[in-house]
Amino acid sequence: MLVLLATTLAIVGARFLWWQLVPLRLRALGADDGQVSLVFSVMLLLGPMQLVGGLVSDRMGRRYAIAVPTLALAPFLVVGLLARHWVWLGVALWLIGIVGAVQQPGFQALLAESADDSERGSAFGAFYTITALAMMLGPAIGAVLLPAFGIAGLMGITAGMALIAGMARLLLLREGRYAATGQAVAVEGRMLLREPLLRRLIVIHCLYMLLLSLTLQGPFVALHAADSLGMGEQAVNVLFALGGIGSTLAALAGGRLADRYGGRALSGALFSAHALLLIAWATFAPEGWWRYALFTLSWIALQAGMVGYATWLSAFAPAAIRGRVLGMVGAVGSMVGALGPQAGAWLRTSGQVLATSQGPWATQLASAAPFALTLALAPILAALLLRMPGRQQLRDAAGQ
C-alpha cells in the first residue's frame, strides 16, 4: 500500500504540472473548441481497454496490471512534448488514456483488497487523499516552473517520473489480501451481464462518468476560466491548486464518512452539491477570493463524493472476478461518458452564438452551459444510488 501511495503521489503530481493546461495547449497548436472536445471525447472512448486491464488484473495479478502500463507512459509523453500540431498532441493524450484505462481495474481491486469491509473506505480515502494532494501540488509547482520550462518541458519531467515510478511499482509493489490470482474463476462477459444488479450498476456508472466528463475530466473548467473569467494559464493552474487543497482533506474525511455511513447516500448528496457550487462559480461569483472559494468548495464536494462512490463500487464482486466486473462497468461507463465533452461543446458553442448580441453576461451564461447539464444529471444520479443495495446487501449479493 505504501509503495502504491508514494508512486501515485509522484506520477500524478508530475502529470498535473501541465494537465489542466491541455485545452489551452491544444488551442495554441491550432485546435478549435470542437476539436478540443473531440480529443477529450476520444480519451473517454478508450474506456473499453478497462476490459483488458480487468482480465490482466485477475489472471496475472494487480502488480503487473499497474506497473507495466506506468512504464509505457514515458514514450507516449515524449510524443506529446514533441508535438507541433494539435493532432499529434491528441494522439499522445489518447495513448496516455489507454494506459489509464488498463490500470483502472487493477488499482480499484488492489485498494479493495488492502482492507476489510469495515476499513475499506479509509483505504480509498488514503488513496484519494494522496491523489488530491498531487493534484494540488502539481498545478502550484507547474505555475512556478511554467515560465522556465514551458508545457513541453513539464511533460518531459513527467516522462522521467513515469520511468522511476513504473520501476518502483514493478519491483516493490505487492498484492493485497487476495493474492491467489491463478485461482480466478472463468466468467464470460455475457454471463456477468445477466445479473440485474450489475446492469443497474452500469446505468449508474454511466451517469457518474457523464458528470465527471463535464467537470473534472473535461475541458470546460479551463476554457470557461480563460474565456469568460479572463484567467491566464498560470491563474488557471493556481485555481486548480487551491481546489486541490480542500480536496486533500475532503478525500480523507470522505473515506471515514463512507466507513461510518456508507458510500451511496454520501456520494449522491455530494455530487449534487458539487454541481450546484460549480454553476455558482461559473455564473455568479464576483472577482477576488469568492471566485476561488466557490471553486474550492465545489472540488471538495466532488472529491469526497468520489471516495464514497469508489468505496461502494469496489464491494460489488468477489475478489476472483473483481477486476473483470470493474473493467466491464468502467468500459461501458467510459463510452457513455465520452458523449459528455461533445454534448457540452455543442451546448457551449450554440449558446455563445445565440448570446453574441445579448452582451457579456449572456455569453458567460452560455459558456457555463456544460455545468448546467451537470446540475441536471447530479440529482438523477443521487436518486438512482439511493435505490441500490447498501453495504450489507452488496456483501451478501457478492457472496462475501
- The residue type at 269: A
Grid coordinates given for 282: 461559473
Q: 296 in helix, strand or coil?
A: helix
Grid coordinates given for 102: 488498463
Grid coordinates given for 359: 452582451
Domain architecture of the chain: domains with CATH: 2-172+190-397 (1.20.1250.20)
What does the pLDDT profile of the chain (400 residues) look like in tens digits? Answer: 788 899 999 999 999 999 988 988 999 999 988 898 888 888 878 878 888 888 888 788 888 889 999 999 999 999 999 999 999 999 999 999 999 889 888 888 888 777 766 677 778 888 888 888 888 788 889 989 999 999 999 999 999 999 999 999 999 888 766 444 444 444 444 555 556 777 888 899 999 999 999 998 888 898 888 888 888 888 888 888 888 788 887 887 888 787 777 778 889 899 999 999 999 998 886 677 788 899 999 999 998 999 888 888 877 666 666 777 788 888 888 888 888 888 998 888 887 766 665 666 677 788 888 999 999 999 999 999 988 876 556 555 444 4
Which residue blocks in 185-321 are alpha helix, DSSP H? 189-192, 196-214, 220-227, 233-261, 263-283, 289-314
Taking the alpha carbons at both ends of the chain, their separation in whole angstroms is 22
CA distances from 76 to 17, 89, 146, 252 (A): 16, 10, 21, 32
* Residue 145 CA from chain centroid, whole number: 24
* pTM for the model: 0.75
User: Counting Cβ atoms within 10 Å, is residue 194 exposed (0-12), middle (13-18) or buried (19+)?
Assistant: exposed
DSSP-based helix, strand, coil % in the chain, nearest 5: 85, 0, 15
